[in-house]
Structure 1
Amino acid sequence: MATVDEIAPDIFRINLGAMPGDPITTSFFLIRDEQPTLVETGYRKTFDEAWEAVSRLLDPTSLRYVVVPHLEGDESGALNHFLERAPHARAVGSPIGSAVNLSDFAVREPLAVDDSDAFDLGAHRLRFLVTPYVHQWDSMLAYDETTRTVFCSDVFISLGGGPAMTDHDESDAMLDAYRMIGIFPSKRHLDSALDKIQATNPATLACHHGSVKGGRSVQGYLRAMRENDVTGLTEWNPMVEAR
């Protein structure tokens, strides 16, 4: 069963655990407000579990937005299942993600957003950071101005389990994970994304995998990602293995 934890006022981390054989857990996030919003959806095959978890917090059919940081199974596999059951919900993606991917994949026309856009959800105000190639070409992040929560997708992740939220600096383990799996192709693009994240003065880094980072650890994670190059080819390169 999915676990649900409040990580900021009316912002909930819904953790779906790990898929069989997968070393990382997967979470998505719900902003409970006048305009209820999901950030990420989890896999298609975990939709029933995700829907049940959302229903503990509100009526899922009332969802208005489903933010898609990039098109990938763990981030958006269940998107259309949510859209089919929530009749007023719209997918929200980056300009490239909306034009190239979501306009074909989603069952309703998506909303394209860029750095200048903001959604007033009620008590929360959601803005967007377009971050191409971090780690997909259509990538973007979202952040809530009200609570200074950055929904940072695959940035600042951690492997394994752990608590829903931590203020411990485990950046060394994070760097080791990135060096092993290799998901960032370009340091220039990653540094640009880090600049945008830093400019929000984040209080909470709500990552898609592993514990949410908060408190005193936030600046340590930002510093670690700036000072260490985790881009390019790494220990595990699926393109090499595929040849």
Structure 2
Amino acid sequence: MAAVDEISPDVYRVNVMTDPDLDFTTSFFLIRDEAPTLVETGFRRAFDETYRAVSELIDPATLRYLVVPHFEGDESGALNGFLSRAPHSVAVCSPIGMAVNADLADRDPMVVDGDSELDLGAHRLRFLITPYVHTWESMLPYDPTTGTVFCSDVFIGPDGGHAITEADQTDHMIQMYKSVGIFPSRAHLDHALDKIEAVHPRTLACHHGSVKAGRIGTYLQALREHDVTGVTEWNPMLEPTDRPR
């Protein structure tokens, strides 16, 4: 059953366990406002579960924006499910996302770039364009009204049953990235970290793991100081006991 937690005023984390053996979870986020917005949608296969969770907070038919940081099963798999239930909703993606993945949405997406801003009511959304972090079309939305960066696959960590943490999970984060190799380029990662640091986030709303409500500088420094880019031999089909931890 999806867990729902408020992580900042009217911003909710909807979380589903992905891999209990690794304490690995997947989250997306609902901003409850005049223009209700989802950041990420979760997996298509989990749509019924996550739709019920969203229904606890709003009428999903009133959703206006479905923000896609990048097109991937866990980030956008349920996109068309939500589009079909919310007749006035629109997917939101980066310019590269529109160029290469627009066909994945049943309605034409809205394109945003680094100068765009969505007025949701009490909240606003702006966008950090961060190619190859970790896919070509990646972008990271942020809400300057709450200081929240929706950081997608940056700052991955364990969940441990905690929606929000102020603990230092950098060791786990670095080990995970070295194991799976989702960042192809040091230059692209540094470019993204520069953009994140420049908006002075107070909260890192992670797609995988607990939301980070403290030690923001520590996480940024850890990714700058450790080489977590390049090719690995990660095999997602390994048995749990053989997986890197």
* TM bin (shorter chain): over 0.9
Q: CA deviation at 1:19?
A: 5.1
Number of matched residues? 236
Residue by residue, what CA displacement relative to the aligned partner does 1:201-233 show, whole Å, maximum 9, x if unpaired?
000000100000012x21110111111110002
Instruction: State the partner residue of 1:71.
Output: 71
Instruction: Please name the residue that 1:241 is paired with.
Output: none
SS of 1:16 mapped into structure 2: strand
- The 3 A distance-change label for structure 1 pair 110 and 191 is same
Provide runs of 4+ in structure 1 moved above 6 Å: none
* Closer/same/farther in 2, CA of residues 170 and 70 from structure 1, 3 Å limit: same
User: What code does the residue aligned with 1:128 have?
Assistant: F
Task: Mark the runs of 5 or more structure 1 residues left unpaired by the alignment.
Answer: 239-243
Partner residue in 1 for 2:226? 228
1:28 corresponding residue in structure 2: 28
For residue 110 of structure 2, what is the aligned residue in structure 1? 111
Provide, for residues 4-23 of structure 1, a one-character-per-residue CA deviation record: whole Å limited to 9, x for no partner.
00000000000011157775
Compared CA separation, residues 160 and 35, structure 1 to 2 (3 A): closer
- Give the Cα–Cα distance (whole angstroms) in 2 for the partners of residues 237 and 96 of structure 1: 28
Cross-structure match for 2:240: none
The equivalent residue for 1:83 is 83
Query: Which amino acid letter does the alignment assign opposite residue 162 of structure 2?
Result: P
Aligned to 1:136: 135
SS at match of 2:45: helix
The whole-number CA distance in structure 1 between the counterparts of 2:153 and 2:137 is 13
Unaligned runs of 5+ in 2: 237-245
1:24 Cα shift?
Answer: 1.7
Contact 1:25 1:161 in 2 (8 A): no
CA distance in 2 between counterparts of 1:226 and 1:237 reads: 26
Q: Find the residue that maps to 1:183 and give its secondary structure.
A: coil
Structure 2 Cα separation of the partners of residues 132 and 14 of structure 1: 26
Please give the secondary structure, in 1, of the residue aligned with 2:154.
coil
Tell me by how many angstroms 1:153 deviates: 0.1
Percent identical: 66
Greater displacement, 155-164 / 129-138: 155-164
How far has the Cα of 1:99 moved from its partner?
2.0
- The structure-2 alpha-carbon separation of the partners of 1:23 and 1:140, relative to structure 1 and needing over 3 Å to count, comes to same
RMSD: 1.4
1:41 paired residue number: 41
* Contact preservation (8 Å) 2:37, 2:66: yes
TM-score (norm 1): 0.94
Does the 8 Å contact 1:179/1:235 carry over to 2?
no
For residues 64 and 50 of structure 1, what CA distance do their matches in structure 2 show?
17
Question: 2:18 is paired with a residue of what secondary structure?
Answer: coil
Task: Give runs of aligned pairs for residues 200-219 of structure 1, distance below 5 A.
Answer: 200-215=199-214, 217-219=215-217
